[in-house]
Amino acid sequence: MTNAKSLLLLDGLAMAYRGFYAIPDLTTKDGRHTNALMGFIRMMLQLKSAWKPTHWAAAFDGGRPEERMAALETYKAQRAPMPDPLKEQIPYINEYLEAAGVPSFRLDRQEADDVMATLAVRAAEEGASVYMATSDKDMYQIVSDRICVVSPAKEMVCMGPEEVVTKTGVRPDQMVDYQALIGDAVDNINGLPGVGPKTAAKWLKEYGTLDEILKHAAEIQPARFRGVLAQHEPTVRRNTGLMKLRTDLNVSLNWEDLAVREGDRSRLVSFFSKYELHSLSRMVQGELGL
């Protein structure tokens, strides 16, 4: 997937969580926690080196959307509160992004996934290649010949349409129906009782869409699911609305603002000194020729 213009989108909060749990507790001499900050910056620099984007941005959750909460009051309700040592570091991460010249987005009561999806689809429509750095399988639904999903920290594989089929058994355009059937424990969304990934993929391969599966509920195999499908049709139809990403948010795709740039050298040096990130300071100063 190559193009003169390429956009790397970072799932900011997911990367902060990953860094927080991947690195043993790290603090400054005065007791400020910096492990999530360290992990976030390392991943960001690794992704930049691997995919060499011409443009990039980070997206952060701004709260649960009203429409999803209206459809399911318990949407994501089971998630534990953010640990205080991690919460402390979110402003540090934002401070770093500003010093490094990396744009970031946070829309009130909108999820980062929807912000990323909106930017990704618009960028692809304008002919750019898009790399979405996230571990959230929800993003598979917008994968195309111009949009792929890359891991923030693992092997640098660009998951396009073929890779999504290999991993899930369904095409990107079938992912919403697939997830509606199996549910998503991470988001506290119940699927069809007893239906797992293999069964859902089998049905979608045979019938193509959830609508067609429901139309043929009386002949579905295994036969024990015929009554289950009829009984839980409202649930799976509700799930499609919960699972489908928004691509119409009020987010500006300004290529000039999103261009990868050097960042403020003096601010970066001061930032790394402030948070005692000496190894990152040496790395970045080397890259900038300081």
| Equal CATH topology for 6-160+246-288 and 172-243 | no
CATH of 6-160+246-288, one of 3.40.50.1010, 3.40.50.620, 3.40.50.2000, 2.170.150.70: 3.40.50.1010
The answer to whether 139 and 132 are in contact (CB under 8 A) is yes
Q: What pLDDT was estimated at residue 75? A: 76
pLDDT at 94: 97
How far is the C-alpha of 114 from the C-alpha of 244, rounded, in Å? 9
Looking at domain 172-243, its CATH superfamily turns out to be 5' to 3' exonuclease, C-terminal subdomain (1.10.150.20)
Among residues 214, 145, 136, the alpha carbon closest in space to that of 175 is found at 136
Model pLDDT, residue 24: 86
Q: How do the domains of the chain map onto residue ranges?
A: 6-160+246-288, 172-243
Alpha-helical (H) ranges within the chain are 12-22, 35-51, 66-71, 84-87, 90-100, 112-125, 161-168, 175-182, 197-207, 210-215, 225-231, 233-243, 255-258, 265-274, 278-288
Q: Which pLDDT score is estimated for 63?
A: 83
Structure tokens at 55: 């443009």
User: Which pLDDT tens digits describe the chain residue by residue (290 residues)?
Assistant: 555 899 999 999 999 999 999 998 899 999 999 999 999 999 999 999 999 999 999 999 998 778 887 788 877 777 889 999 999 999 999 999 999 999 999 999 899 999 999 999 999 999 999 999 998 999 999 999 999 999 987 778 899 999 999 999 999 999 999 999 999 988 888 899 999 999 999 999 999 999 999 999 999 999 999 999 989 999 999 999 999 999 999 998 999 999 999 888 889 989 999 999 988 777 666 655 44
* Predicted local confidence at residue 25, as pLDDT: 85
The span from the CA of 165 to the CA of 100, in Å, is: 37
Q: Enter the tokens of residue 50.
A: 């691997």
Is residue 55 within 8 A of residue 255, CB to CB? The reply is yes
